[in-house]
């Protein structure tokens, strides 16, 4: 049974169809990428999965339970880290627990247990402006994890980082995901990123946006520099580029 199932989701704004008949699955502990050009409807789909929007048709299932239109079940991390500048890193990442009713002290103790795992140890009392871009994204991901350890939606989590920091974050992200096993669906425009991080890739294209292809990445994780230079990586990338150029269901 899939952890998250999206079944035949469609959404229009007025007479304009944004996404049509989209179905996908995320299995337990799996990282799945949603890859496509800007404006194809990826963020609309995320808003539906998270319960922020109600679809015109279709269902969203979590552990086979219908959660369509219900927020609070699935965590959602946006491109910007959205850390509150006047709160410490510990207070920022503790917020989901406090919102759920934990007192500040208990929430802080629970959150602090994960600081070492997320490479944040020693930064508990710092403020967001004292952190690098990569460290801020680590804090944002930990906050996302503490909101829900079921499924996370990540909307271009590394796109604001420079190329070197992004490469380092990819390595870190693979290692931390091996530890926490968080079922994840993430949006990216970066083909290389999708191949390096994903177990599977869904490609969205067209107007309205639809799932046109699914690609399984068989190579073992973690995937580093050798993988990026391998024939297998180049073959995956060539296949994706051909599909994106076509933009048609085959």
Buried b (16+ CB within 10 A) or exposed e, 98-107: eeeebeeeeb
CATH code 3.40.50.300 region(s) in the chain: 1-20+32-74+150-224+240-250
What confidence category does residue 247 fall into, taking pLDDT thresholds of 50, 70 and 90? low
Q: What is the largest CA-CA distance in the chain?
A: 55
Weakest mean pLDDT among 79-83, 85-89, 121-125: 79-83
Residue 211 · residue 204 · CB < 8 Å: yes
Q: Which long-range contacts (CB under 8 A, 24 or more apart) does 230-239 make?
A: 233/195, 236/195, 237/191, 237/192, 237/195, 239/215
Q: How confident is the model at residue 222 (pLDDT cuts 50, 70, 90)?
A: confident
Q: Which residues contact 85 (CB under 8 A, 6 or more apart)?
A: 127, 128, 129
**Residue 218 pLDDT level (bands cut at 50, 70, 90):** confident
Q: What is the mean pLDDT of the chain?
A: 91
Task: Give the model's confidence band at 249: pLDDT under 50 very low, under 70 low, under 90 confident, else very high.
Answer: very low
Per DSSP, the three-state class of 177 is helix
Q: Is the pLDDT of residue 240 over 60?
A: yes
Structural domain 1-20+32-74+150-224+240-250, CATH architecture: 3-Layer(aba) Sandwich (3.40)
Q: Taking residues 130-134, report their average pLDDT.
A: 91
Q: Give the pLDDT mean for 23-34.
A: 95
Q: Which pLDDT belongs to residue 250?
A: 38
**Residue with more model confidence, 10 or 222:** 10
Residue 56's pLDDT band (boundaries 50, 70, 90)?
very high
187-211 residue pLDDT tens = 998 999 999 999 999 999 889 999 9
Q: From residue 7, give the alpha-carbon distance in Å to each of 39, 48, 61, 79.
A: 21, 12, 8, 25
Average pLDDT over residues 120-138: 92
Q: With pLDDT > 90 as the criterion, what percentage of the chain qualifies?
A: 67
End-to-end CA distance of the chain: 27
Above 70 in pLDDT, residue 248?
A: no
Mean pLDDT of 168-182: 89
């Amino acid at each position: 049974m899939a952890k998250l199932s999206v079944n035949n989701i469609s959404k229009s704004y007025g007479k304009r169809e944004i996404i049509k008949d989209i179905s996908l699955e995320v299995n337990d502990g799996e990282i799945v990428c949603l890859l496509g050009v800007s404006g194809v409807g990826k963020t609309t789909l995320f808003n539906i999965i998270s319960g922020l929007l109600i679809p015109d048709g279709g269902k969203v299932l979590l552990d086979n339970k219908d959660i369509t239109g219900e927020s609070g079940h699935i965590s959602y991390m946006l491109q910007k880290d959205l850390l509150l500048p006047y709160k410490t890193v510990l207070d920022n990442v503790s917020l989901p627990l406090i919102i759920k009713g934990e007192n500040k002290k208990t929430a802080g103790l629970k959150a602090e247990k994960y600081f070492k795992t997320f490479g944040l140890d020693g930064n508990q009392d710092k403020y967001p402006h004292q952190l690098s871009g990569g460290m801020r994204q680590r804090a944002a991901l930990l906050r996302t994890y503490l909101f829900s350890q079921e499924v996370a939606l990540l909307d271009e989590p590394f796109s604001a980082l420079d190329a070197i920091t992004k490469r380092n974050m990819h390595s870190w992200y693979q290692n931390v995901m091996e530890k926490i096993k968080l079922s994840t669906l993430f949006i990216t425009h970066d083909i290389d990123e999708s191949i390096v991080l994903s177990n599977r890739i869904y490609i969205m294209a067209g107007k309205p946006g639809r799932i046109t292809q699914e690609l399984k990445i068989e190579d073992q994780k973690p995937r580093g520099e050798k993988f990026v230079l391998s024939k297998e990586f180049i073959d995956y990338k060539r296949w994706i580029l051909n599909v994106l150029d076509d933009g048609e269901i085959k």
